[in-house]
Amino acid sequence: MKYIIYGRTQLGQVFRPSDWADRLCSVFSHYDPVMATRRIKHGAHAAGYSRYLMPTLVNDIRSVILDDKIGTVEPQALDFVLNFASDNNLVIELCSD
Amino acid sequence: MFRLNISMPANRFLKTSEYRQYADWLKNQDEETLRLYFGIPVTDYFIDNLVQSFINDSNNHHFLVAERNGVWLGTVHIAVTNETDVEFGVIVDHAHRKKGIADQMMEEAILWARNRGFVNLFMHCLTWNRPIRKLCEKHGLDVKNFTDGTETESRCKLPPASLSSIGQEYALKNRNLYRMILQSQEEMFNNLYQ
C-alpha cells in the first residue's frame, strides 16, 4: 500500500519549509536494502533516497510518496512518517499503485 | 602605491541555466554550514535532487548570489510557495562571514519580493543558528520557536511596493553593475599603477 502525504495542512495552509519533503526523505534514505548496499560499496554520497519514501510534486504541491514496505525494513519508520504527517496535520491520501 | 580594492560583493540573480552551479557551490560548503542550513546531514545526492526540483519548477525558485570576481560568497534561495508567500534561505560562505554580506543580500531579496507583490516572508532555521535569527530580527521578521524547540520560524508582512521601493531596486541594480565593472577592472588598475 502506498500513501501520498501532501505539503498542505488540512486547513489548506502550505507546509514549511518548502523543501520539507526532500529533508524527510533524506533522513529515511537508509531504509532501503538497495541503497544500503550502494552506501557500503560507494560511500554515503552515492546513496539516493529510499524507494519507499520519495519526494514528488503532485498538482504543484511538494509531497512524498510513502510505501508501507518501509515497515519491512524498519517497522518504526512507517509509524514515524505517518505520525509526522498527522502531528503536522498534513493531508494523507491512499494511493492505488 | 595606489591599490584599488573593491571589497563589497556585487549581487545578481541567477539564470535557470546557472542553477546547477548553485548545487556545486552548496556541495563545496563545509558540513556544519550545510547541517545548520538544512537541519540534517545531507549528501551530494540530496543536493543534486533538490536543485533539480528547483530547475523543474524554476518559476517558483530564484537565487540571489553575492559575487566577487566570479567567486560566490553567499546565496539567498527565494522559494515562492504561493501567490502571496515567499520563503528565503540564506547561506554565506564560512570564509566570508561577519562582513555584512547576508544583510545586504537580505535587503535586496526583500525589495525583490515586495516589488513583485508578495505579502508574507518566511524563514526557517535551527533554533541555535543565532546569526540567522539575528538577521531575521534585524530585517523585521517575527522569530518564533516551534514547540519541540529545535526549529525556528520567522515571518513578517512585507509592505506593498511603492515608487520608492521600485527606485531602490533600480538603484541597487545599478550599484551592483558598477561594482561588477570595477571588480573586473581591479587587476588592470592595480597593474597600471604598480
Q: Identify whether B4 is part of a domain.
A: no
B93: in domain: yes
Strands A53-58 and B142-145: unpaired
Q: Residue B145 — pLDDT band, cuts 50, 70, 90?
A: confident
What CATH number is attached to the domain comprising B62? 3.40.630.30
- Subunit contact B46:A44, Cβ cutoff 8 A: no
SS (H, E, C) B68-107: ECCEEEEEEEEEECCCCEEEEEEEECHHHCCCCHHHHHHH
CA dist., res. A19 & res. B61, Å (int): 11
Nearest CA in chain A to B57: A60
Query: Is residue B105 domain-resident?
Result: yes
| CB contact A23 to B (< 8 Å) | yes
- The region of weakest confidence among B71-80, B113-122, B184-193 is B184-193
Report the pLDDT averaged over residues B117-142: 93
Question: What is the distance, to the nearest Å, from the Cα of residue B151 to the centroid of all Cα atoms in its chain?
Answer: 20
Structural domains of chain B, count: 1
**Residue B90, strand partner residues:** B76
Query: Would residue B3 count as lying in a domain?
Result: no
Per residue in B97-125, pLDDT (tens digit) is 999 999 999 999 999 999 999 999 999 99
C-alpha span between B160 and A40 (Å, rounded): 53
**Partners of B10 in beta bridges:** B67
Nearest to A23 among B39, B43, B81 (CB): B39
Per-residue pLDDT at B144:
86
Cell of B107: 535587503
**CB-based contact B88:B78 (threshold 8 Å):** yes
A15: nearest CA in chain B? B81
Q: Are A50 and A35 in contact (CB under 8 A)?
A: yes
Asked whether B103 and B138 are in contact (CB, 8 A), the reply is yes
Cα separation, B64 vs B70, in Å, equals 14
List pLDDT tens digits, range A13-46: 999 999 999 999 999 988 887 776 776 776 766 6
Residues 6+ apart with CB under 8 A from A56: A4, A21, A63, A64, A65
- The answer to whether the Cβ–Cβ distance between B46 and A22 falls below 8 Å is yes
Range of the domain at A19: 2-95
Contact residues on chain A for B50, CB-CB shorter than 8 A: 19, 22
Q: Please tell me the distance from the alpha carbon of residue B189 to that of residue B81, in angstroms, as a whole number.
A: 45
Nearest CB among A18, A22, A55 relative to B87 is that of: A18
- Rounded to the nearest angstrom, the minimum Cα separation between B186 and chain A is 39
Q: Say which CATH number the domain at A15 has.
A: 3.30.70.2340
**pLDDT at res. A97:** 62
3-state secondary structure of A60: coil
Average pLDDT over residues B151-162: 92
Residue B1 has pLDDT above 60, yes or no: no
Which comes out higher in pLDDT, residue B28 or B70? B28
Specify the residue for cell string 533539480: B52
- Using the Cβ of A34 and the Cβ atoms of chain B, whether some distance falls under 8 Å is answered with no
Count Cβ–Cβ pairs < 8 Å, chain A vs chain B. Answer: 51
Total domain count for chain A? 1
Cα gap A74→A30, rounded to integer Å: 10
Rounded to whole angstroms, the Cα distance separating B191 from B194 reads: 5
For residue B61, the chain A residue with the least C-alpha distance is A18
Residue B94 lies in a domain: yes
Per-residue pLDDT of A30-89, as tens digits, reads: 888 777 677 677 676 666 889 999 999 998 899 999 999 999 988 899 999 999 999 999
The boundaries of the domain holding residue B172 are 10-192
Query: Does residue B51 fall inside a structural domain?
Result: yes
**Mean pLDDT (chain B, rounded):** 91
- The predicted model scores a pTM of 0.89
Contact A26 B40 (CB under 8 A): yes
Residues of A in Cβ contact (< 8 Å) with B28: none
